[in-house]
Amino acid sequence: MPTVLGSLRRLALTPSFADVTFARRGFPVEETDATRRLEAIPQSVICGFEWGIEVRDPWEVERRLELVEAEMRGFAYEGATMAFTVRDAMAAGRGHRTRDLLRGPAVPHTFLTYIGIGFAMARLPRPLWKNVLPDLTGTPYYPTMSWLAVDGYGFDRAYFQTDKWVTRQERPADYPWEGRPEYFGRAVDQGIGRALWFIHGGQPAAAAAAVDRFAAERRADLWSGVGLAATFAGGCDAAGLDLLRRAAGEHRAHLAQGAVFAAKARAFSGCTPEHTEVAVGVLARMPVAVASTLADDVAVAGLVSATVPDYEVWRERVRARCADQLDARA
């Protein structure tokens, strides 16, 4: 059941449903069925956050999350992870809600729960970041995929501080996530790329133009984020996705890599919507099952490079395979 303290935390920290709508955020989006479906994603995150920040019993939070429709459930887990991360940080290192959730019922949503940690990072002072990632030894893709937390931080900043991070294109100070401060900005850009898909309501031409307004050296990571969002969240038909792939030009393998990661995340969750199958087919020229297997075939575990994190080695390997596939189907 909710507590008085939990209710106060919810009132202080939770944005309203209206606050995350495209109109309230000032995004240049025309309201359609597709954009309303995209808006339902941050609203699902808010539901999970409200339950996680307010309810005393973790079992009750988990039960509520499991009642969310399958396609949106991962986003609700994302919000609950964000809430548990904030609560654990407020417990001065004594909290273990995030660890228990991510080791337990949230495992199928591993990719999104890392992003939820990043959402919490956007609301916590940097000195507290060193404790936000719990020890998840033995869970799939840990710690390699934890860079999605930094991606989540980038998405949050772009979505809620669009003028600063998108219009003015400011860059964050480096942070030694997994001991790699020099990669922090790149992972943030991957999250900003995901946000661009939402900011422009899943409109391929507008999203592509937004990427092209960034400095050239940032565009590859932005395109990867666009591909991940378009494939995981949807919002566009096959014709539009084909336009997106062609607009990516020299970065089409980065776009495809994001699509493959999204397909892997959907397959791992046990729920693959039709729009994900369509998107990875157009952007990466392969079905979800092949994309999921590809991601595992080239997955990285353990330090394999002295210059980039394992996460980037994994991305590079996926890109190389995607480039071969795209060339073969050109």
What tens digit of pLDDT does each residue of 267-294 get?
999 999 999 999 999 999 999 999 999 9
Check residue 4 and give its pLDDT. Answer: 42
What's this model's pTM, rounded to 2 decimal places?
0.94
Check residue 330 and give its pLDDT. Answer: 62
Averaged over 88-109, what is the pLDDT? 92
Q: Which long-range contacts (CB under 8 A, 24 or more apart) does 9-13 make?
A: 9/53, 9/54, 9/87, 10/50, 10/53, 10/54, 13/49, 13/53, 13/86, 13/123
* pLDDT score of 102 more than 90: yes
Per-residue pLDDT of 141-174, as tens digits, reads: 999 999 999 999 999 999 999 999 999 999 999 9
Query: Residue 104: exposed, middle, or buried by beta-carbon count in 10 A (0-12, 13-18, 19+)?
Result: exposed
Q: pLDDT tier at 12 (50, 70, 90 boundaries)?
A: very low
Q: pLDDT tier at 107 (50, 70, 90 boundaries)?
A: very high
Check residue 13 and give its pLDDT. Answer: 58
Contact call for residues 108 and 270 (beta carbons, < 8 A): yes
Averaged over 243-248, what is the pLDDT? 98
Question: Residue 177 — left, alpha, or beta (φ > 0 → left; ψ -120 to 50 → alpha)?
Answer: beta
Contact call for residues 166 and 205 (beta carbons, < 8 A): no
Q: Which residues pair with 2 in a beta bridge?
A: 55
* pLDDT score of 299 more than 90: no
Q: pLDDT tier at 6 (50, 70, 90 boundaries)?
A: very low
SS3 annotation, 83-100: HHHHHHHHCCCCCCHHHH
Average model confidence (pLDDT) across the chain: 93
Percentage of the residues of the chain whose pLDDT score is greater than 90 = 86
Contact call for residues 132 and 143 (beta carbons, < 8 A): no
Task: Report DSSP letters for 93-142, one per residue.
Answer: T---HHHHHHHTTTGGGHHHHHHHHHHHHTTS-GGGGGGSS---TTSTTT
* pLDDT score of 8 more than 50: no
Check residue 18 and give its pLDDT. Answer: 84
Least confident of 4-8, 75-79, 143-147, 209-213: 4-8
